[in-house]
């Protein structure tokens, strides 16, 4: 199979004692304003990316999906600095929607992670499992099979050990990538929340600013309804729920990514255990995952 440095590094990350189950939670909490010092949130998106990068041991800016949503995060920061109530409300809402859309784009990649997991399960079943069962078979039939494949027990054991190492590394790599995806989706969620908080503040200010302010607030809500309508009539424009409830929409995408992250954690944990050398036990743990 062969693996690259990235997969080998992922293997080392979990081989050195980090708890697999808690790893995703650690990274998620590192970008959650409620589970870290509140002052860090004032550092903005860069601070969140830096702290998540430290938890991951690698920069999130190297993740293939970072380039996509970097522009949204930078634009969000500009929107949150706006001063005019009407323009700031519309701008904050639009940035919240963009961040929600970005979280949707991140969640849309989950199929790739599940495909990687399924491919490694198939590799184990087709390649590693058969070799392990042959190594455990000391019957005349087992010896005959070894001769047919031109292998000794020592050579087959060595090649199987290498295959297990590479298989583990590929699963660790997939899980590690999913944690990075979760961290970025969490950043998008926090960004969406911040933008919607700004939007709500500006809407409140307009509604309490006399008749003109109330008219502007009404116009803002009407514009939002039109945005939602445009998406309902043209699905290619994006999900209407991202306009109706940007924060709830982004939270749903985070939850979806976290579910896959947890699934990969279970598979990775089983792969890194001694059960990797017992096909029957391993399949009991990951067969239905």
Name the nearest CA neighbour of 245 among 202, 200, 182, 184. Answer: 200
User: How far apart, in whole angstroms, are the C-alpha atoms of residue 136 and residue 227?
Assistant: 64
Q: In this predicted structure, what is the pLDDT of residue 277?
A: 92
Name the nearest CA neighbour of 45 among 261, 250, 195, 246. Answer: 195
Enumerate residues 6+ apart whose C-beta is below 8 A from 23.
Answer: 14, 175, 179, 265
Q: In this predicted structure, what is the pLDDT of residue 256?
A: 92
Name the nearest CA neighbour of 28 among 179, 195, 253. Answer: 179
Q: In this predicted structure, what is the pLDDT of residue 71?
A: 56
Q: In this predicted structure, what is the pLDDT of residue 20?
A: 62
Q: What is the 3-state secondary structure (H, E, C) of 185-203?
A: HHHHHHHHHHHHHHHHHHH
Q: What sign results for the dihedral spanned by CA atoms 81, 86, 91, 97?
A: positive
User: How far apart, in whole angstroms, are the C-alpha atoms of residue 286 and residue 289?
Assistant: 5
Angle made by CA atoms 179, 185, 189, in degrees to the nearest 5 = 140
User: Which residues of the chain have a pLDDT value below 50?
Assistant: 17, 35-45, 47, 51, 55, 65, 68, 76-83
The string of pLDDT tens digits covering residues 56-110 is: 555 555 555 455 455 555 554 443 433 356 677 887 888 888 888 888 888 888 8
Give the C-alpha distances (Å, rounded to integers) separating 210 from 203, 207, 217. 12, 7, 11
201, 205, 206, 209: CA torsion to nearest 10: 180
What is the tally of helices (H) and strands (E) in the chain? 14, 0
Give the C-alpha distances (Å, rounded to integers) separating 94 from 80, 113, 244. 11, 30, 12
Q: In this predicted structure, what is the pLDDT of residue 80?
A: 41
Q: In this predicted structure, what is the pLDDT of residue 240?
A: 92
Q: In this predicted structure, what is the pLDDT of residue 1?
A: 58
Q: In this predicted structure, what is the pLDDT of residue 233?
A: 93
Enumerate residues 6+ apart whose C-beta is below 8 A from 129.
Answer: 279, 282, 283
Q: In this predicted structure, what is the pLDDT of residue 51?
A: 47
Q: Are 79 and 95 in contact (CB under 8 A)?
A: yes
Q: Give this prediction's pTM.
A: 0.73
């Amino acid at each position: 199979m062969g693996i690259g440095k990235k997969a080998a590094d992922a293997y080392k990350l979990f081989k050195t004692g980090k708890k697999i189950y808690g790893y995703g939670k650690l990274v998620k909490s590192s970008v959650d304003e409620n589970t870290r010092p509140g002052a860090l949130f004032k550092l903005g998106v860069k601070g969140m990316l830096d702290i998540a990068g430290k938890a991951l041991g690698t920069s999130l800016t190297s993740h293939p999906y970072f380039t996509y949503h970097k522009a949204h995060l930078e634009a969000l920061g500009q929107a949150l600095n706006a001063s005019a109530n009407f323009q700031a409300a519309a701008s904050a809402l639009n940035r919240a929607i963009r961040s929600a859309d970005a979280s949707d784009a991140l969640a849309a990649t989950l199929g790739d992670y599940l495909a990687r997991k399924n491919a490694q399960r198939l590799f184990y079943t087709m390649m590693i499992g058969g070799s392990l069962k042959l190594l455990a078979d000391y019957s005349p039939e087992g010896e005959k099979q070894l001769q047919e494949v031109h292998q000794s027990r020592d050579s087959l054991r060595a090649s199987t050990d290498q295959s297990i190492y590479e298989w583990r590394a590929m699963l660790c790599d997939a899980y590690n990538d999913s944690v990075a995806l979760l961290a970025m989706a969490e950043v998008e969620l926090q960004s969406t929340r911040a933008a919607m908080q700004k939007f709500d503040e500006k809407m409140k200010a307009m509604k309490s600013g006399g008749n003109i302010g109330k008219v502007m607030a009404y116009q803002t809500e009407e514009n939002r309804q039109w945005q939602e309508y445009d998406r309902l009539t043209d699905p290619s424009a994006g999900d209407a729920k991202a306009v109706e409830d940007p924060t709830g929409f982004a939270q749903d995408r985070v939850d979806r990514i976290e579910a896959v992250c947890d699934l990969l954690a279970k598979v990775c944990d089983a792969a890194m255990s001694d059960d990797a050398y017992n096909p029957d036990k391993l399949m009991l743990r990951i067969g239905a995952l």
